[in-house]
Structure 1
Amino acid sequence: MDAPGDPEGPRPPGGDGPAANARETPNRLSKEQLFVLISAASINFGSMMCYSILGPFFPKEAEKKGASNTVIGMIFGCYALFELLASLLFGKYLVQIGAKFMFVAGMFVSGGVTILFGVLDQVPAGPVFIAMCFLVRIGDALSFAAAITASFSILVTAFPNNVATVLGSLEIFSGLGLVLGPPLGGFLYQSFGYEVPFIFLGCIILLMVPLNMYILPNYEANPGEHSFWKLISLPKVTLIAFVINSLSACFGFLDPTLSLFVLKKFNLPAGYVGLVFLGLALSYTISSPLFGLLSDKMPHLRKWFLVLGNLITAGCYMLLGPVPVLHIQSQLWLLVLMLVVNGISAAMSIIPTFPEILSCAYENGFEEGLSTLALVSGLFSAMWSIGAFLGPTLGGLLYEKVGFEWAAAVQGLWALTTGLAMGLFYLLEYSRRRRSKFQNILGTEEEQRALLPDENQS
């Protein structure tokens, strides 16, 4: 949604409730809104820590246990596949289950399965270890899908006029999770072994559960009439879904591949590999609030952010290796620079997607309320999960077959395709609007000419 008074954005629902309270105090946070921000920040931070902590050392440990690079990519990717299925389910039934209960229960289960991940090194190598990795990863995916879907819905309910600004600001905590996860995981792994990173992180998440049970407001609403299929069938929403897929795949691609590439190419220890991930996470964290603010204050810029962000991301992945056809020597400084630029371009593209989908839904007759917010939240999480599944899965396979340089270039082509498709759609949309406006002007002139003879006779 857009800032108050913005003609291009959808209007928030009227009446009483949290949305009305948010409009009455636009420049000052209420106690309820502050508690919502704290709860959302805790889940963003915890989820990104869990997501990123595996990168520096898990691929190496999994190789010792007999897992191939393709299987390692599938272990990373199965998280997103089951998060996809769970997000669609939880988004549809969030109103019936209750947003607060879904949020707290998801966080509690996630803390438990994160601790279980820490004891997998005691499992026998081979198929048993691989199967247990899949089971624990699936449990983590289901629990965080519940918490994240509920979190998005609660946030947009509490801040109906500043969706992109709030989501962009909360990406600071997602970025902190991405920033702290790899180096902290690498350091704890080097110092204390495999178990400690997971037990430490799982305990932090469990400690957040009673806090959120106390401070998180409880929002209630009636089920809506619309479905995911009506939402995703809107052409604009379909294209934005592909943008989300592409950007998510770009992030997911790096998890099973980047650490192995850096270890072999530059001979860095595991602790320093975590610092390489820092370039992407830190730049994404810093730039997200800026693009969120710009998306709310100047919604006409969203289309430019979506297109340019994808095109810049494509260039980054072409130079990440770099792709051999460019005949550029692979260097550590160039790789880190491309990760930094990619963090900025990813924020440029990701932040506007949620308010753009929401605006399109309202323009096409979806009711304004928690039920639609739940559908959009579930759809966003599901589309992100598709990319997060395909990115590491195909990335691990391509890394084995053609090497990191070509695998990264293929990922860049995906971003390039979505960026060009989104740009073409906006050009066609602009052309249709101009043609419609021109036809309306002609119609008005014809009506005026038809009335002139009658006026002269009178």
Structure 2
Amino acid sequence: MNKSPDCIVKSNTQTDDNSRERVNSYVIVRRFCKLFKTQYDSKHLVLLTVLCFGSVLTSTAASLDGPFFPSVAEQRGISDSWIGVINGIINLGFIIGSILSRYLLSRYKPKNVLKICVFIFGLSICGFGSLEWCFSAKYFIPIAIFIQLVIGFQMGTYFTTSYTIIYLEFTENLNQVYAKIEVYYSIGLIIGPPLAGFVFQLGETFGYGFCVPFYVFAFLALVMTIVIHLTVKTETLYENKGNISYWQLMSKGGILVNVLVTMNAGALIGFNTTTLELHLEDIANLSPSMVGLVFLISGVSLVTFNHIFEHLAHKIKQKYVISLIGCLSALICLTIIGPIPMIEIEPQLYLVIISQIFLGLGISALLVGAFEQGTKENRNNVFVESSSTTAILSSLFTTWEALGDAFGPVIGGTLMESFDYSWSSFPFFALQLILITIITLFYLWRKFTNKKEDITLESVCYE
């Protein structure tokens, strides 16, 4: 029996629809797979994964004390200003490690330096956790400061060594690789407190609390030492082929402005890590795990917006726009988290939660915008464009972020001892206004003097 023409047309239409659906599904699958497409071979992908994981591990372990250390220290009669000093001194060690490690790397194999610093880092973290059994402030403070200096020194050594290994092993897309390490460092600083809060509360169920997060991450650091031994094979000694120093880079106004922006991001992280737990104590009675969850919000926000700003940075010529977005976001955060003294509103938990979203957004914009623009300034100032120069530039930005992370806790802890959170956060609010002014004036100065490049209104449009 022959089919009617209508049936044939209907059958053909259904066949076309099915084919179109299969094609659309195939396109969707291909686009989804592109998200996971990598430009690295297996050797470099493993190396980059190890370095990024180590970056998160070290910075996370260094920020474990955020949710509960202030209350533990207060139980021993330690003031808020000393708490800020103990939290901030780690970054002084970071800076010393970043500077001295270059001399180590010119004499010893990078893979050995990396293994040793991670091993000592793990032992130091374990030692800090053991302070749970030190009840005298007379001994607690100096021991804590010494251990924090050692932890910071090993962190500075780790990141400088990581940048050196990248410089020696990778030949393409160095800026992207360095940016990944820097962002993962910041992610670790933010997710450390929430992870510590969860592990701390878990340890309390067995009669222990303070030491448990540190012992867990000390164990992970020791495991990381074995992983580095098996995967990192870099033996070439470091050599500064570009013959560029920190001071030469910072002598250029464009790089200096972006270094200040990066330091601002570190200061915001340090201030938030040190004072947020104290602020939450005045607002609500939250468990350590819930306090950690509030800390986690800014970390999730940073990770989410980081990818957005990385994509945006490749689309616009003037990355100062991204830095301005970061300052404005931080300004909103600091306006509502206290809130600032000019706003007569009682502090609320929901405002703190919203502020943490803006904080993560702001920090990601500050870090991405500053590093991308700093790299561009390096090329514009006709420095020797080599991978060693890029490595030093990356180390410079990470070091100044650590410097900001050192000032943030000290300033925050000192102010919290005499004022409430609203007034303690106000200097950082003012800092955002100052940086917005500096960035805007520097951009306009460049525009009207045509220094190094002709910056027109089209320079902030999509390429």
TM-score computed with the length of structure 1 as normaliser: 0.83
Please, which of 410, 426, 429 is the counterpart of residue 409 of structure 1? Answer: 426
Larger Rg: 2
The amino acid across from 1:353 in the alignment is A
Determine the C-alpha separation between the residues in 1 that align with 2:452 and 2:377. Answer: 20
Q: Counterpart of 1:352 in 2: which secondary structure?
A: helix
Q: Describe the superposition over 1:215-256 as per-residue Cα deviations: whole angstroms up to 9, x where unpaired.
A: 124155533422221111111111111111111101100122
Q: Give the counterpart of 2:407 among 378, 386, 390.
A: 390
Alignment of 1:7-406 (within 5 A): 28-91=39-102, 94-155=105-166, 162-163=173-174, 165-166=176-177, 173-174=184-185, 177-178=188-189, 180-192=191-203, 193=208, 194-218=210-234, 219-224=236-241, 225-295=243-313, 297-406=314-423
Deviation at 1:53, TM superposition (A): 1.6
The residue type paired with residue 223 of structure 2 is L
Is the Cα contact below 8 Å between 1:53 and 1:185 reproduced in 2?
A: yes
1:110-144 C-alpha deviation (Å, 9 max, x unpaired): 11101111111222411201111011111100001
Name which structure has the greater RCO, CA cutoff 8 Å, separation 6+: 1
With over 3 angstroms needed to count, the CA separation of the structure-2 counterparts of 1:212 and 1:437, relative to structure 1, is: closer
CA contact (8 A) 2:109 2:237 kept: yes
Contact between 1:317 and 1:408, CA under 8 Å: does it hold in 2? yes
Q: Structure 1 counterpart of 2:361, which letter?
A: I
* Amino acid across the alignment from 2:330: T
Residue identity (%)? 25
- Displacement of 1:370: 4.2
CA contact (8 A) 1:107 1:147 kept: yes
Matched residue of 1:281: which SS? helix
Gapped regions of structure 1 (runs ≥ 5): 1-25, 439-458
- Please give the secondary structure, in 2, of the residue aligned with 1:239: helix
Is residue 95–residue 221 contact of structure 1 (8 Å, CA) maintained in 2? Answer: yes
Q: Hey, what's the Cα distance between the residues in 1 that align with 2:129 and 2:264? A: 31
Counterpart of 2:156 in 1: which secondary structure? helix
CA change 1:160–1:401 in 2 (3 A) is farther
> Which amino acid letter does the alignment assign opposite residue 283 of structure 1?
S
User: Aligned letter for 2:388?
Assistant: S
- Judging changes above 3 Å, is the alpha-carbon distance between structure 1 residues 317 and 167 closer, same or farther for their aligned structure 2 residues? farther
Q: Distance in 2 between matches of 1:374 and 1:164?
A: 9
Q: Which digits, 9 at most, give the CA deviation of each residue in 1:297-339, with x for residues without a partner?
A: 2251512001221122122112210012111231111111011
Deviations 1:407-428 (A, max 9, x none): 1121121122122211211221
Contact 2:56 2:184 in 1 (8 A): yes
Per-residue CA distance 1:334-361 (angstroms, 9 max, x = gap): 1110110110121011013223323323
Q: Is the 8 A contact 1:49 1:177 kept in 2?
A: yes
Contact 1:165/1:293 (<8 A) preserved: no
- The one-letter code matched in structure 1 to 2:52 is A
Cα deviation, residue 203, structure 1: 0.3
Aligned-partner Cα distance in 1 for 2:361–2:167: 24
Distance in 2 between residues matched to 1:132 and 1:434, nearest whole Å: 51
Describe the shift of the 1:282–1:163 C-alpha distance in structure 2 as closer, same or farther (beyond 3 A): farther
The aligned residue for residue 16 of structure 1 is: none
Q: 1:422 to 1:102 in 2, by over 3 A?
A: farther
2:326–2:365 contact (8 Å) kept in structure 1: yes
- TM-aligned CA deviation for residue 259 of structure 1: 0.3
Indicate the larger mover: 66-75 or 27-36. Answer: 27-36
1:432 aligns with 2:443: no
SS across alignment from 1:114: helix
> AA paired with 2:84?
G
SS at match of 1:128: helix
Question: CA contact under 8 A between 2:193 and 2:273: conserved in structure 1?
Answer: no
Distance 1:53 1:434, change over 3 A: closer
Contact 2:52 2:180 in 1 (8 A): no
Alignment check: 8 A CA contact 1:150 1:374 kept: no
Unaligned runs of 5+ in 2: 1-36, 456-463
What TM-score results when the alignment is normalised by the length of structure 2? 0.82
